[in-house]
Structure 1
Amino acid sequence: MDETVTPLRIPPQMSVYADKHNVFHLLQSMLSSLVIDQPEDPISYLISLLQRSSTDIPRIMLLGPPAVGKHTVAKKLSADLRAVHVTTESLLQDPSELSAQARQYTLREQEVPAELLVRLMQQKLNNLDCFNRGWVLEGIPQTRLQALSLQQAGVIPEHVVMLEAPDDVLLERSQGKLVDPITGDVYHKTFIWPVEDTVAQRLEEARSLPETQRLSELQRHRCEVAGLSSAYQHVLKIINSDQPHADVYQQVLAFVRTRRCARTPRILLLGPPGSGKSHQARLLSEKYKMVDVCCGRLLRSVAADGSALSEKIQPYLDYGRPVPDALVLQVLEERLSRVDCSCRGWILHGFPCDLQQAKSLQESPHQPNRVFLLELTDDDCVERITLRATDPVSGERFHAVTRPAPSFEVQNRLKTRAEDSTDTVTHTLRQYRMNIVGVQSVYPDTLHIDADQDPHSVFEALESRLTAE
């Protein structure tokens, strides 16, 4: 820790009030709008922004490969949310000089440059209808370069939906498409058929691209999908489109409604040693940008910073004794009061470990609003911990079964920590089982997660409950 820099802290009372009344989300939304629109009179602009209840206005991107169903979902979504449906075609049809320039590229069957696309988007989204009603972008952006250009220009979505389906399904869907000449709605002979006979009777075959072009566009999407997902990972939801259209749409609608105006996350992650708390905390922190607060790691960091508090903590760490609750709470109070935790939220693990610690945390200004308990049997915990070892050279941790060392050289230099011995782990688990009942009594709404599955499945289970109301 740099002693010359004083971390910015928000008074606990202010933090609690701000979270209760969604102040940080409001400030973020207002700042984002200022960057996008850059009004000449910021004060009047912000007043009008507050008057229109800006947090209820959707900003959605719907992405995916050709024939995945983007148009049908986007059209219905924009109608249900009363948002503006924006497509590449609608941008090109605008009677402006910029649109005329873009049309010249399409006539030559060339891609519209990212810079010109950004200017078209800014022009469109600055219109009063998009400003007041929000927008649903269909198939924009198509590349990571376009995504980064839009981000730099301040076009920031609140939700990004990536529809996916196997290639063979997409190629089958690309054939047999039908269009309603009156409404422009897209149907299919096999996958989506209109309910009304009058609509079915007037359907016309949609223009079909040559197979080579369909394959080329599909391959292009596959090359870009990783970059697009990375650019929007903190607001992204991937949905399998190879299921009934109604089910796909309901998942999309639930996602864009659930994540809006979410509370600042203050997550408490409980579980026995070896259940994967640290790994899941890191994954959640990386995706949702919340602060990963590991109590043990935090205590070691403070003990090493040379402060007056470090002199009180270091002796306990040197002799392997538990740090008194009063000191731990003092350290947590300081860390959770910083502006990054107040604005982005936090995920705490390694504390509390017993009933008294849970009561003390609950009486503090930093009460969690989500509590997860990773469930794992003692036998599985012992197997996970006792078979793991650390490479002293790289610092990487390996496991004899799930992640063996890559070579004999690395295998021979692996070190096992004393606290990872079977006797020590068994004793720690016995203490955990005795104390967890008391901790749960303080948090009756604890959400239980089965940790006896692969880490990705555990993360998906955590994520689905995190984003639920």
Structure 2
Amino acid sequence: MRLILLGPPGAGKGTQAQRLVERHGIPQLSTGDMLRAAVANGTEIGKRAKAIMDAGQLVSDAIVNQIVSDRIDEADCRKGFILDGFPRTVAQAEALTEMLAQKGQKLDAVIELKVDEAALVERMKKRVADTVAAGGSVRGDDNPESFAKRLDEYRQKTAPLSAYYRETGELVTIDGMQDMDTVTAEIEEILAKAN
């Protein structure tokens, strides 16, 4: 099972990905984690990425695409994977489609969690209040201003992926405002139909 979860920050992608990891025994592949691992392991592509990051520059799509491709080839991805934070742009989505085709694979599903953005801000405020009440530490970007910027960046850069995957016929949309168990059940239904 190879899938992408789309949706703005706070939509519940992380929670649903963890449930899928536990239920299906497939890894959640985070772009940030993959980049750090490639650098830490001193792979050829990791060395190139490290030099770029050390210079304070953004890693190019070509390098990110190669890191993703290498990671997908690892043994724990044989049964599938959940992509987290990749693709972020239509160009990366096109590269992913081509990359998978070269490996004789394709995506089984692209699932978008549709949410009400105003409700997301309230959800974020509640999460912060609950975390503080429990004595936990709050993420530095868990405030209304930072969250609004993250939502705006999502709308500008990542939201066009919805249109791309709608055109390819791969996009399935779920109401992400439902309770977590209902969202999980709907994702499982989609995956059952895909296999």
TM-score bracket, normalised by the shorter chain, equals 0.7 to 0.9
Q: State the one-letter code of the partner of 1:375.
A: K
Whether the 8 Å CA contact 1:292–1:347 is kept in 2: the answer is yes
Rounded to whole Å, the distance in 1 between the matches of 2:149 and 2:51 is 23
How many residues of Structure 1 are paired with residues of Structure 2 in the alignment? 187
Q: How does 1:244-393 map to 2 (within 5 A)?
A: 265-314=1-50, 322-342=58-78, 344-365=79-100, 367-385=106-124, 388=127
Cα offset, 1:404, TM superposition: 6.0
The amino acid that maps onto 1:415 is S
- SS of equivalent to 2:111: strand
CA shift in 2, pair 1:291/1:322, >3 Å = same
- For 1:372, the aligned partner's letter is I
Residue aligned with 1:356, SS:
helix
Shift of 1:364: 1.4
SS in 2 for 1:425: helix
Percent of matched pairs sharing the same residue: 32
TM alignment of 1:134-283, pairs within 5 A: 265-283=1-19
User: Alpha-carbon deviations, 1:159-203, whole Å to 9, x = none?
Assistant: xxxxxxxxxxxxxxxxxxxxxxxxxxxxxxxxxxxxxxxxxxxxx
Larger radius of gyration: 1
- Residues 312, 285 of structure 1: CA spacing in aligned structure 2 closer, same or farther, 3 A cutoff? same
CA distance in 1, matches of 2:165, 2:85: 16
TM-score (structure 2 length as normaliser): 0.81
**Alpha carbons 1:278, 1:294 under 8 Å: kept:** no
Q: Which structure shows the bigger proportion of residues in helix conformation?
A: 2
Letter matched to residue 400 of structure 1: A
Q: 1:415 aligns with which of 130, 133, 137?
A: 137
Q: For 2:150, what is the secondary structure of its paired residue? A: helix
Counterparts in 2 of 1:335 and 1:386: CA distance versus 1, 3 Å: farther
Alpha-carbon distance between aligned partners in 1 of 2:145 and 2:42, rounded to the nearest angstrom: 35
Aligned Cα root-mean-square deviation (Å)? 2.5
1:422 and 1:355 map into 2 onto residues whose CA distance is 28
Distance 1:351 1:439, change over 3 A: same
